[in-house]
A and B are shown apart, each in its own frame.
Chain A
Amino acid sequence: MIEIKGRVRGQRVPSKTLEEKIQTAVAAGKRSIRVVADGQHGIGGRVWPRGETVRFKVTGAPGQRLGAMGMLGTEIVVHGSCSDDVGWINCGAKITVLGDVANGAHNAGAQGVLYVQGSGGARCDTLTKYNPRFDPIQSWYFRDVGDSFAEFKAGGIAVVCGVNPRNPENILGYRPCVGMVGGTIYFRGPCRGVSEEDARITELTDADWAWLKKHMKPFLKAVDRKSFYDSLTRSRDEWRKIVALTPDERAERAASRRGSLSEFRTRVWYPGTGEGGIFADYIQDDQTIIPFVTHGDLRRQRPVWDNNQFAPPCAGYCPTGIPTHERTRLLREGYESDALDLVLRYSPFPGTVCGYVCPNLCMESCSRQFYLGDPVDITYLGRLSLDRPAPAVDKDRPERIAVIGGGPAGMSAAYQLRLRGYRVSLYEREEKLGGKIYYCIPEDRLPADILAKEIERFASLGIEIHTGAEIDRKKYEEIHAGHDVVLLATGCHSPRVIPFPGYEHVVPGIVFLKEIAAGNSRDLEGQDVVVIGAGNVGMDICVEAFNCGAATVTAVDIQAPASFGKEQQMAAARGAQILYPKFTERYDPDEKRIYFKDGSSLPADTVFISIGETPELEYLPEAIDLERGFVRVDPVGRTTDPKVFAVGDVTRPGLITNAIGSGLKAARYVHAMISKTEYEDDERRIIPYEKVKFQWYDRARADDLSQSCDTESSKCMSCGTCRDCHLCEHNCYWGAISRRETPGGGYEYVVDGEKCIGCGFCAGICPCGIWTMYDA
């Protein structure tokens, strides 16, 4: 045993010198060293004798970090208490302190043993390590330890015996084990505040107890407390153990530490706010959570199979409302004669009007025209009905109805009323029925036999027809008295003229046309002809003027010509010129010249004027209100005399189809009025084009679509009316749509709301625009 002194001749030996003396002594083979310390740092550490034991006995006052980086084989016994960090990063030294250790004992220790006879200070056993190559580090505290014990402990075993503790209520100090991830602590006595996020307290196992009892003996012997062995090992129940949480336990504890919010809701929130929460007084709906995609009542939109809710453009824009889509449906279903007869319920003139003289608003507006430029050929379909017989007349009714005027409007009304069984008398001033169709349409546009056929069909119904019947006031009163209802359809036959100088030499166009119809056309051979007014009638006059031999025909107008379509094309084809704007100043019959206000003039052997006609209404009593020269009517043709209706041009000038439509409407109303049934108004909103999905149809091509019932009916997009194609059923991903038969041979498509999510695919893809999405 050699002695190394920490104070020599009253002078304290520096730590560096003392360390050098110790290392020199060990190198010289000394294995038992007594150190009389005087605050020197790190005494007894870093001694490497390799397999041999080096013993230190330390007296005096050792400084910090005694035994720091101590090695296996080093044994240090300190006679008295120790300063901070005893056994700092201990790598195997066995350190016995016969007194207390201050803060940080065994901080970052990895191997070795620390026996403490008294207490530990703060932060003892912190950051101790785990290394499977060696036995675990042991730290033994006979009494207790200070605050922040075993922080970040990763390995080793600490034993706190709890004998005569400084704080009898807590032997492990304030908040032990924060950040502990490994190792074991055995302790005996009360403790508080062990970091629950990191460690848990548990009971000792048999193996723990055996280990503790076995290692207790050498500890007590080393610290001279052998007599406590029995009391410290008398009962396992006095001891408990702290281990670090495993990562899984740690996660579980973190999760469970936060009580579930739904539990909070029922346990705390509802007791405070009342059952159902803070909005329960106002909101009755089910508070459960719903997904983004919902079914049934929770859908935001629901589809409805709105069959026939919209009018197709053809029927909607047709003033007569002819349902071409129904015609094509019947054709597709193979009912050709039914299809061709259907139109006769709407108009007596499918061949004449639909087939020839009508500008065919149906085809103009046809969805196929809109999207593909090739409308269903309704003129073709109209002509096919030419040879069909008139529909059967309903059972005869006693009511007598007079129709004054045998033009398109009057004939339409008379036809409809007769079909409904009424006794109808028709009065026509001219010798022929047909009005302007007969008198004003050039043969070029309407072959005579066509109209003749349809008038024949009309006449076959049993209408009492009076031609050559001039109606004056007296005759009117007579008719009025003798009938239940009177319909006025006398049209416009009084030509409008402009009183410019020489106007008396101008021929009204309508007069010219009527002459031709009557078979005594005038001779215009080689003449220069001017037509004032470039509307469609003006165009017909141009054509007829050429037919009568005119050399040149010029139509003039004060504005862009109102004529269009076939009429204008035919006139242009014959060589008619249209000039505008031209305001006529005068006509000089001697000079055969017409002068215009812009200073220009044209040669004019004959001048026709065709700027419209006004009704001749001298026969009407004052009880019938007029409006700007026309009979004032409401949309169903009622005049101010409840018994009297007016239809056609006498109410306002229009197309022939307008005249037919107004006759139809008034007839329907009259029928409803007399039979006290509901007025059957088939006017519906016209389907917006975007609802019709044209993409399903190809354009008509010469080689696959020639004109026939089959092709025209398959071309039809059936706008607004289901064509029973099953696309919706196929497209619905959710299988929510099915087709079912209805009583009476019909069918419908229905939606199972519990399957439907309201995606709108049915509405988005339906070729006919039947499906509509409604807010649910």
Chain B
Amino acid sequence: MPYVVRWDDDRCTRCGRCTSVCPVGAIEPGVFEKRLVESTGPVPMPTTVRRVVAGVKQVTDIRHRCVGCATCRLVCPNDAIRPEYNPHNKFRWHANQGGDPYKRGGRRNDPGVSTLDLLKFTRISMLTDPALDAGRHEFRVRTYLGRNLPPEELPLKIEGDSLVADGTPFIPPVREIFPIRIGGMSVGALSPHMWEGLCMGVAYLNEVEKLPVVMCTGEGGMPPRLLKSPFLKYFILQIASGYFGWDEIIHAVPEMQCDPAAIEIKYGQGAKPGDGGLLMAAKVLKHIARIRGVPEYVDLASPPTHQTKYSIEEAVAKMITSMSMLFDFRVPVYPKISGTKTALAVLNNLARNPFAAALTIDGEDGGTGAAYNVSLDKMGHPIASNLRECYLNLVKIGKQNELPLFAAGGVGKSGNLAANAAALIMLGASGADCGKYIMQAAAGCLGDENNRCNICNTGKCPRGITTQDPKLYRRLDPDKVAERVVDVFLAADKELKKLFAPMGRSTELPIGMSDGLSVSDRAVADRLQISYAC
């Protein structure tokens, strides 16, 4: 058993709250027989006392193993029950019951320190650069999503005293956004309360706080009400290999009040590269089915690759052109790929495509609602070196200010959202995506890298985040989710300023300013071409 349930007989009132909430049936009421044989006299004079009591016991069937979510502890008024991680457990040896490999949600089960967390910001303005005060000085932390043409390539000419367009040229659409985005998590993977909470938080940040945070829909379509709302501009529509929900999106185009922030073409997901999307039937309820355009209660697998595309040239050009056309080339369109040794090939291809707006690379520490454990744990490329390699390549071809790179996968893995994002920016990213972090910060996701909880795929999320069961998702208050999203981004904005101010950067992000980074691991320093400090 990966988690052992510790139950305290003396504290328990047998109220049953714990057994009523356990999402996996890992505990159940049971009967315990206690028997005491004692002799109090000077010679053996035995008396036997037998007491039979009801209590709570752990179920030992592996299908009902305790997953450690601790919902029992959450509801126990007497602190009488809690799960305890069993580091000696042999669960992985037995998880393949019935010949089916272990599937789960969550993240790569590696509690180790990520490379991003090893990086330190070592260039601090000490009387050298103009030091800025993050708290006092006003400065903007913004980045560009879209292709930035170099001045000489801008199709402009001077006429008299003014700059005018030269003919009817294509000027790539560019969005000015906050450099941390919410990565793609689909309607379907997430509960309606969670998804709407995230959306509201994003809208609030834009509308009230004027912080242009954008969120990607993930592959699951978008409710038409949001498509037709004035908030669409804060959302990146994702199209992936299952093409779920796209007919509704296309139908809604004439009724849209504004353009979406961008379109992301998902070719791969960092958490499970090479594995397609997976939404288990238990989660495909009516609202999900309608939005995605599928029957109810069926397993929804997206193929690992886009069908009808047979080469990198074709895949990229075809998809980018199609999606650009949908909005008359007014919306940035970019692909997202899993972190991979072949990322450079994709990048070089994009560099040659004038309609490619950016590239997002999703590293191995990303999260997912459902995947095979083997894909989660053993496949993928860490984001740091993959991103760095791509950025340095852009530098080599002189396009580092032109084609923005976005990095994802494990940003905020240990809770350091802004620092991880800043490190990626200084390694060359124009921005970073977070998903798992926001689940934990905004909704209190219980999962961790010791395989705690991680039952997102089953639709039994005890928090109400990744479930379509109203009895579960109604536990989650969308207003509170939204509020936490706002907290997260306001705080991240301040933290980014705290990191960038001492480097004297107040207007443009220090993209690729790798001389500000150091690491105390020689090999990492060499690989990332940053300095070694100890």
User: Measuring CB to CB, which residues of chain A are less than 8 angstroms from any residue of chain B?
Assistant: 151, 175, 178-179, 258-262, 264-265, 268-269, 272-274, 277-283, 285-294, 298-301, 693, 695-696, 698, 731, 733-734, 757-761, 763-765, 767
Contact = CB atoms under 8 A, between A and B. Distances in A.
B352 to A, nearest CB: 38
B303 interface: no
Interface of B: 13-21, 28-33, 50, 52, 54, 71, 74-75, 135-136, 138, 192-193, 195-196, 199-201, 203-204, 207-208, 223-226, 229-231, 286-287, 290-291, 462, 470-471, 474-480, 482-483, 486
Contacts of A286: 474
A262 B74 CA distance: 25
23 contacts: A151-B136, A262-B479, A264-B207, A264-B482, A265-B479, A268-B203, A273-B231, A278-B196, A278-B225, A286-B474, A292-B21, A292-B462, A693-B30, A693-B31, A695-B52, A733-B13, A733-B16, A760-B16, A760-B19, A760-B20, A761-B16, A764-B28, A765-B54
B17 A277 contact: no
Contacts of A298: 471, 474
Given A269-B200, A764-B28, 9 more contacts: A261-B204, A274-B225, A278-B226, A286-B474, A289-B474, A289-B475, A293-B17, A698-B50, A764-B54
A759 B471 contact: no
A179 B225 contact: no
Contacts of B470: 283, 285
A699 to B, nearest CB: 10
Contact of A179 (B33, B136, B195, B478): B136
A167 B280 CA distance: 66
A763 B225 CA distance: 45
Contacts of B31: 693, 695-696, 764-765, 767
A277 B19 contact: no
A298 B192 CA distance: 18
Nearest to A275: B225
Contacts of A731: 14, 54
A172 to B, nearest CB: 16
B20 A758 contact: yes
A273 B226 contact: yes
A3 B13 CA distance: 92
Given A277-B196, A278-B225, A759-B19, A264 B204 contact: yes
Given A258-B486, A277-B196, A278-B223, A733 B14 contact: yes
Q: What does DSSP make chain A's interface, helix, strand, loop or mixed?
A: loop
Given A695-B31, A757-B16, A765-B29, A282 B287 contact: yes
Nearest to A762: B29
A301 B472 CA distance: 13
A774 to B, nearest CB: 14
A589 to B, nearest CB: 60
A753 to B, nearest CB: 13
- The winner among A278, A285, A292, A758 for most chain B CB atoms within 10 A is A278
Contacts of A281: 223-225
Given A278-B196, A290-B474, A760-B16, A261 B231 contact: no
Nearest to B232: A272
Given A265-B200, A293-B20, A300-B471, A764 B30 contact: yes
B335 to A, nearest CB: 27
B454 to A, nearest CB: 19
A261 B20 contact: no
> Most chain-B CB neighbours within 10 Å: which of A179, A300, A760, A764?
A764
B516 to A, nearest CB: 26
A731 B474 CA distance: 29
Contacts of B136: 151, 178-179
A278 B20 contact: no
Given A151-B136, A281-B225, A759 B15 contact: yes
Contact of A292 (B71, B230, B479): B71
Given A288-B474, A291-B475, A757 B52 contact: no
A289 B476 CA distance: 7
A761 B195 CA distance: 35
A698 B49 CA distance: 11
A261 B483 contact: yes
A197 to B, nearest CB: 10
A743 to B, nearest CB: 32
A505 B1 CA distance: 66
B32 A264 contact: no
Nearest to B200: A269
B15 A733 contact: yes
A273 to B, nearest CB: 5
B291 A282 contact: yes
B464 to A, nearest CB: 9
Nearest to A732: B16
A293 B75 contact: yes
Contact of B29 (A260, A300, A764): A764
B21 A760 contact: no
